[in-house]
Structure 1
């Protein structure tokens, strides 16, 4: 705003009304540039101290595991699948010692009958209100926990919708994120199966077996290519028939949203950088499939 005011004033002094108009326009450009630089610096949160950043990271960490625990208990008891999923998540984050104990404590707190998901997610939303990418990542992590056994129960789905609502994410976008994660889950399974087939094929020493397996492999690959592309499109949040331009735009947008360094600077705990990296890798892999 000050750029417009000062630009108009100086422009009027030197060029009367024509100068004022030109000064207003130049001031507008200055304000716009200043705002972009300010936002890149983190807005007003960019003035926070390192201690404030640590507090936000601690809140993300504890809230994330507490809500995960609550969702895992939604069907009355925490299944072995959910326990393994939580442990695998902690392994992915390389949590050991006190850090792992804190994660386990937060996870267990979410299982208590007096746990308030509205209060927990509300506090999180208040702390990260201007960090939409982090709010979405928080939701994606909860979907990952709920989907750890390969399907969603009605109670899990109901809780996820509540989390989305308390985060301020609309129902339409929630469905978009959920569909994207389900596609990502299937896409990862498909990639793992393909890699397993490759390893099995290369382990055969007989030329005849190699030739037969190669033929079968080509047939299986040809049959699964369309399926892979279908899932790859869904990972990017796109439908069949999406143009190259739409694919590239969706890829760049998702990569920007899940950029680990940017998310850490906004309050994502460094331990959770691996989570963001894994999501970026899935997005990258899906894009590579669609480029072929």
Structure 2
């Protein structure tokens, strides 16, 4: 952005001398402000779409087994609390959830909107899927119809079934897995996308790559709603837990 101001000033100086320098610098500054407002506006729109689609798809997912249970409804309300949604945002979330439950809901079109705002940021898509999986497993089990729907959503978002397995492994560890102690070794490898035959260097490389990809600041800059920052933090915590579980197991071997 500073380059535009400098370029405008230099160009103005070459054309009009000292006065041109001032005019060119001023025009460059004006252009920078316009561009910044445009970028921020696009980012705000992307975040709003991401959040709206999150709850719309959640409504569709929760109805996959034929009914939306009270546990699933409560899970959506708990998510509102975690995201610190105000009353207006909660009303929008309820409307989106209801829209997703409707018989005429176009899931593929909704997923296309998510892909458009997310682009190639698979870490964002995984956060999206993690929230969906948390909602449909709120009743303590993942029904076959719900699992099929989850795979359909993952494919519609361009994710692989391996990425779904990674998220499922994270959820099996749960928030109580602080320090990695409650996470099984098999799930820990699944979370990092490596296996028991991977070298220590390969495990560390996978861990660092995932931590970089899932950093909350990076995800926020790519369209993750600010209210979902805590979800992103939990995800990096789970990645860290998995790495510690593997590291300690290998040290003890």
- TM-score computed with the length of structure 2 as normaliser: 0.75
Aligned to 2:121: 131
Deviation at 1:246, TM superposition (A): 1.8
What SS does the corresponding residue of 2:49 show, helix, strand or coil? helix
Q: Any gaps of 5 or more consecutive residues in structure 2?
A: 1-34, 249-253
On the 8 A contact 1:179/1:234 being kept in 2, the answer is yes
Instruction: Return the offset for 1:282.
Output: 0.9
| Distance in 2, Cα, partners of 1:108 & 1:245 | 47
> What is the rounded CA distance, in whole Å, between the counterparts of 2:218 and 2:189 in structure 1?
25
2:215–2:233: 8 Å Cα contact kept in structure 1? Answer: yes
Contact 1:95 1:271 in 2 (8 A): yes
Give unpaired runs (5+ residues) of structure 1. Answer: 1-44, 196-223
Q: Is the 8 A contact 1:190 1:228 kept in 2?
A: no
SS at match of 1:242: coil
Match status 1:186 vs 2:172 = yes
Structure 1 stretches of 4+ moved >6 Å: none
Match of 1:49, SS state, is helix
Equivalent residues, number: 214
TM-score where L is the length of structure 1: 0.66
TM-aligned CA deviation for residue 243 of structure 1: 2.1
Q: Which structure has the larger Rg?
A: 1
Q: Deviations over 1:245-285 (max 9, x none)?
A: 12111111211221110111111110011111111111112
Q: Does 260-269 or 248-257 show the bigger shift?
A: 248-257
Alpha-carbon offset, residue 189 of structure 1: 6.2
Which residue of the other structure, out of 136, 160, 164, is the alignment partner of 1:146? 136
Where does residue 248 of structure 1 map in the other structure?
204
Q: Specify the alignment match of 1:284 in structure 2.
A: 240
Cα RMSD (Å): 2.6
